Amino acid sequence: MAACLVRVESLDPVYDERARDWARRLGLPLGSEAELALQVGPDGLQLQALEPDAPGPVRVDFVEGAMAHRRQFGGGSGQMIAKAVGIQPGVRPQVLDATAGLGRDAFVLAALGCEMTLIERQPVIAALLEDGLQRAARDAEVAAICGRMRLQAGDAIKLLEGWSSEPPQVIYLDPMFPHRDKSALVKKEMRLFRSLVGDDMDAPALLSTALRLATHRVVVKRPRKAPVVEGTPPGYSLEGKSSRYDIYPLRSLKR
């Protein structure tokens, strides 16, 4: 029998029922031959490549590690992402992150006071993010931040086209693109992500849809030397050492 892409497995019998629940929700097999394993254990959900000498698992952790360090020492509203979405004194825009991934950028913006809606279309990645948000909601230090993050699993283009509630002021996009970052963390995550989702070939359609829905601006994060997303050109860009934010202004964000 050919191996499937993802299986669900429990890391201890005590988590067997939770593993069965996730397998049912995601329509994934338990215990089959696979390339990746969505593992249920004491630290919540994690995604592990099963090839020999594979790097360690990927999980969403808003409480400790890199996200805790960035929350405490990341530069606050002076960060480039904050400037890109229009954070300024007295202004904390409502932001829809339509390509949420593991939720790191959304968490940074929520930590700065923005009300965030997150959309992730890949079901396994959305499951990792849901699990990370649930665990963070039980932590006193970050519960209020995660309370400003609402997750929707599904195709962003379809969800934006059918949007029926108040339109977001800012829509933030970070389409998958061939990254050149050499860090082990990025390489590990990109290997897993690309096997699940590949590159976002519909990024131009997503940008076009976002420009029709956002009331104030659309922001697209890109590798610094990457071309702009095909379609409407950005009004201006903010460029850092490895990343660039292309800004599509629609209306001024004011207090």
Beta-bridge partner residues of 4: 34
CATH code for the domain of 25: 3.40.1630
| pLDDT value, residue 31 | 81
The answer to whether position 225 is within a domain reads: yes
Q: Is 24 within any annotated ligand binding site?
A: no
pLDDT, residue 178, reads: 54
Q: Give residue for tokens 């693109």.
A: 177
The answer to the question of whether 104 is labelled as a binding residue is yes
Residue 127 maps to a domain: yes
Can you give the pLDDT at residue 72? 65
* 106 lies in the same domain as 223: yes
Asked if residue 174 belongs to a known ligand binding site, the reply is yes
Q: Is 121 annotated as a binding residue?
A: yes
Tokens of 156: 């962003």
Instruction: Give the CATH number for residue 125.
Output: 3.40.50.150
Per the DSSP assignment, residues forming a β-bridge with 237 are: 246
Q: Do residue 174 and residue 220 come from a single domain?
A: yes
Residue 75 falls in which region: left (phi positive, over 0), alpha (psi -120 to 50) or beta: left
Contact 154, 188 (CB under 8 A): no
In a domain, 59, yes or no: no
Are residue 167 and residue 42 in the same domain, yes or no? no
Q: Is residue 56 part of a domain?
A: no
Question: What radius of gyration, in Å, describes the C-alpha atoms of the chain?
Answer: 18
The answer as to whether 31 is a domain residue is yes
pLDDT at 4: 76
Q: What is the pLDDT of residue 184?
A: 47
> Is the same domain home to 24 and 86?
no
Whose tokens are 């950005």? That residue is: 234
For the chain, what percentages of helix, strand and coil (3-state, to nearest 5) are there? 35, 25, 40
Give the pLDDT score at 76: 73
180 known member of a binding site = no
Position 133 scores a pLDDT of: 96
Which residue range(s) make up the domain with 242?
65-249
pLDDT in tens, the chain (255 residues): 445 789 999 999 999 999 999 999 999 999 888 999 999 999 999 999 998 888 889 999 998 877 765 666 556 778 999 999 999 999 999 999 999 999 999 999 999 999 999 999 999 999 999 999 999 999 998 999 999 999 999 999 999 999 999 999 999 999 876 555 445 445 556 666 667 766 667 899 999 999 999 999 999 999 999 999 999 999 999 998 989 999 999 999 976
Nearest to 119 by CA among 163, 95, 85, 154: 154
